Amino acid sequence: MSQHVFKRAGFLAATVGVAGLLGAGVAAAHVTANVYGSQPTKGGYAAIVFRVPSEEKDPVTTTKVTVDFKADYGIGSVRTKPLPGWTAEVTKSKLPTPITKDNGTQITEAVTAVTWTAQPGNELKATDYQEFSVSFGPLPTNVDQVEFPAHQTYSDGKVVDWNQPTPANGEEPEHPAPVVKLAAKTDGDGDHAGMAAGTASTPGEHTEAAATTSDSTARWLGGAGLLVGAVGLGVGAGATIRARKATAKPGGNS
């Protein structure tokens, strides 16, 4: 009887772990915009990472990724983090009407797209994913979130558009556009973020930012692993106690 209980405990623990892994796989099945660090604030600057998985079957690969920046956001500056094997190109467009930011700055030319293109031999295979890091601003103050429609080009010429807005009911569409929510602005938020983005121009500073991102990711993954392990240990301990009670004789020593 105790053997049966232990098998059940092991099965439950394994189920918890597999469910967590499957959930993570589903969540990462499309292009997403991820914030590592403080949530961007309205009117401030943002540092985000676009995570792009390659989903077509071998031998088809991802060769290019384009992320759109809506002109009415008035994003005046974008910086891309160097990525070995990929080239980045920032596209700016003249605005029909200048946008005046809260600090009085007039934006006459806004960023409308960033395109990453793989150099030969660096394309994303079916089992690969890549992260493309950018910092940009100033952010708009009249919206609660910013959307970044993305376009993923494959080696066979196919282009997948990740540009569908998520409806108010929260039900995710088939090809959702990457979204970043904006926090309410507090005094000094825009200035401090702007200074951070404005000074991150040397290779050393880019490396430091990458190390911070990796550290945050590692801590998150470590925490998730500890949680799954704790659940498994709890189930196993409970099974052990029940098994001992079941095999103990009335009036005997446990």
Mean pLDDT of all residues belonging to the chain: 76
pLDDT band at 6 (very low <50, low <70, confident <90, very high): very low
What pLDDT was estimated at residue 106? 85
Give residue 21's pLDDT band: very low, low, confident or very high (50, 70, 90). Answer: very low
pLDDT at 68 over 80: yes
Is the distance from CB of 152 to CB of 159 less than 8 angstroms?
yes
**Per-residue pLDDT tens over the stretch 100-129:** 887 778 889 999 999 999 999 999 999 899
44 falls within a domain = yes
129 lies in some domain: yes
Domain of 161: which CATH number? 2.60.40.2230
Yes or no: say if 67 and 49 are a contact pair by the CB < 8 Å rule.
Answer: no
Number of folded domains in the chain? Answer: 1
Q: Which domain holds residue 37?
A: 32-66+77-88+114-180
Given pLDDT bands bounded at 50, 70 and 90, which one contains residue 211? very low
Is the residue at 246 inside a domain?
no
User: Which of 251, 175, 182, 238 is CA-nearest to residue 8?
Assistant: 238
Position 102 scores a pLDDT of 78
Q: How confident is the model at residue 244 (pLDDT cuts 50, 70, 90)?
A: low
Q: pLDDT value at position 245?
A: 52
* Residue 176 maps to a domain: yes
Tokens found for residue 152: 């993923």
Does the residue 167 lie in any domain? yes
**Has residue 54 been placed in a domain?**
yes
How many CB atoms neighbour CB 162 within 10 A?
A: 22
Q: Are the beta carbons of 134 and 42 closer than 8 angstroms? A: no
Q: Is residue 39 part of a domain?
A: yes
Model confidence band, residue 12 (pLDDT cutoffs 50, 70, 90): very low
Query: CB–CB of 68/113 below 8 Å?
Result: yes
Q: Is residue 135 part of a domain?
A: yes
Residue-wise pLDDT tens digits, 132-170: 999 999 999 999 999 999 999 999 999 999 999 988 888
Rounded Cα distance, 9 and 245, in Å: 16
Which pTM was predicted? 0.65
